[in-house]
Amino acid sequence: MMKFYMTPGSCSTGIHILLEEIGLVFEAHLVNLLAGDHRTPEYLALNPKGTIPTLARADGSALTDFQSIAWWLARSYPRRKLLPEDAEGEARVLEAMSYAVNTVHGQGFTRIFTTESYTANEAEHAAVKARGREIVDEGFRIFDDLLADKEYLFGGFTIADAALFYVEFWADRIDIPLPANCEAHYRRMLQRPAVRQVLMEEGYGSLFR
């Protein structure tokens, strides 16, 4: 059985959604980042980067970042149609997923959530957070254009939508307004049974009350 290492409300929520969309049976292991679980010898033996998410597969090997896990799930379970069948379509999905994870999350939200990792000078924290907000807002503007006249980024639900959802979720949690098409996408995602189940399991059931 696969083992999924996750932190509720983090980027791993997107992978959790994909696992539920596919209908896989897996063991969930909570990684408490504040407690330093990701720095224990046991976890580092599995994922030397000390990051989340991590998916330990049945053969004992592990995938240790959002994009590789999402792509592997989509390719391993093609009947779920989480990736287009053509090369051009797949490339576009990977491009959008990468932008959500690497830029909106990796360059934008990290400046907001982990400001101190960019500078130890508290006098510079406001500027770092402001730059993060600029990156996040620009990212959502780009995704808003991609979503014009569409329910999902590329027609049907794909791994890119799971990536976009978790950053939309973060924006909602800290009161960053989403542009109209992203807001509609976020609300549509909240109606998907797998998304509702995941958020309930991760402790965010209040969103549905």
Residue 77 pLDDT: 97
Kindly give the pairing relationship between strand 26-30 and strand 2-6: parallel
pLDDT-flagged residues of the chain (< 50): none
> What fold is seen in the domain 2-78?
Glutaredoxin (3.40.30)
Residue spans of the domains in the chain: they are 2-78, 87-192
Architecture of the domain defined by 87-192? Up-down Bundle (1.20)
The residues, any chain, with a CB within 8 Å of residue 97's CB and separated by 6 or more, are: 66, 67, 70, 159, 160, 163
> Do 93 and 29 touch, CB atoms closer than 8 A?
no
Residue 207 pLDDT: 87
Q: For residue 3, what is the enclosing H or E element? A: strand 2-6
Residue 206 pLDDT: 87
Give the separation between CA 187 and CA 190, rounded to whole angstroms: 5
- In order, the DSSP letters of 10-31 are STHHHHHHHHHHHT--EEEEE-
